[in-house]
Amino acid sequence: MSTPMTEQNAVDVRGVDKNFGRSRALDGLDLTVHTGQVAGFLGPNGSGKSTTIRILLGLLRADAGRVSLLGGDPWREAVQLHKRLAYVPGDVSLWPNLSGGQAIDLLGRLRGGLERDRVRAFTERFELDPGKKARTYSKGNRQKVALVAALASRAELLILDEPTSGLDPLMEAVFTECVLEAKAEGRTVLLSSHILSEVEKLCDTVTIIRQGRTVEEGTLDELRHLTRSSVRATVDGDPHGLEGVAGVHDLVVDGDRVTLEADHEHLDGIVRHLSSLGVRSLVSNPPSLEQLFMRHYGDARAEAENGKGGEAA
Partner 1 sequence: MNALTGTGTLVRFMLRRDRLRLSVWVLALVGMVAASVPALDDMFTTDAERQSRAALMETPTGIVFGGPGYGLEDYQLGPMLVNELTMTVLIALAVLNVLHVVRHTRAEEENGRAELLRAAPVGPGAQPAAALATAALVDLLIGVSTSVSLIFFGLPTADSLAYGVGLGLAGIVFAAITAVCTQIFEHGRTAAGTAFLVVGVLFMARVVGDIARTGGNALSWLSPFAWVQQARPFDALEWWPLALYPVAAVVLFVLAHVLAGRRDLGAGLIAARPGPSGAGPLLRGILALHLRQQRGMVFAWSAGVFVLTFAFGSLAPEVESMVETNPDLAAFLGDDTEDLVGGFLGTIGLYALMGTGALSALSVLRARSEESAGRAELVLATAVGRVRWLGSALIVAVLATVLTTALGGLGLGLGTAVTLEDGAWIGRMTGATLAGLPAALVFGALVALLFGTAPRLVPLVWVWLGYSVFMTMLGALLGVPEAVMDASAFEILPAPPGEEAEAVPFLLYLAVVLLAGAAGLAGFGRRDLATD
Residue in 3, 35, 102, 227 binding partner 1, rule: CB under 8 A:
102
Give the interface size with partner 1 as a residue count (CB under 8 A). 44
Of residues 264, 265, 90, 290, the one with CA closest to residue 208: 290
Residue in 59, 173, 252, 302 binding partner 1, rule: CB under 8 A:
59
Q: Is 10 in the site for partner 1 (CB under 8 A)?
A: no
State which of positions 115-134 bind partner 1 (CB under 8 A): 116, 119, 130-133
Of residues 5, 41, 45, the one with CA closest to residue 25: 45
Residue in 24, 111, 187, 224 binding partner 1, rule: CB under 8 A:
111
Residue in 6, 23, 61, 275 binding partner 1, rule: CB under 8 A:
61
Q: Is 154 in the site for partner 1 (CB under 8 A)?
A: no
- The CB-of-101 to partner 1 minimum distance in angstroms stands at 4
Q: Is 101 in the site for partner 1 (CB under 8 A)?
A: yes
Residue in 83, 201, 232, 257 binding partner 1, rule: CB under 8 A:
83
Q: Which positions from 155 to 194 touch partner 1 by CB under 8 A, shown as an x/- string?
A: ----x-----------------------------------
Among the listed ranges 72-80, 232-240, 252-260, 299-307, the one in contact with partner 1 (CB under 8 A) is: 72-80
Q: Is 280 in the site for partner 1 (CB under 8 A)?
A: no
The Cα 78–Cα 111 span in angstroms is 12
- The CB-of-147 to partner 1 minimum distance in angstroms stands at 12
- The CB-of-50 to partner 1 minimum distance in angstroms stands at 9
Q: What is the contact surface with partner 1 in residues (CB under 8 A)? A: 54, 57-61, 78-80, 82-83, 85, 87, 89, 91-99, 101-107, 109-112, 116, 119, 130-133, 135-136, 146, 159
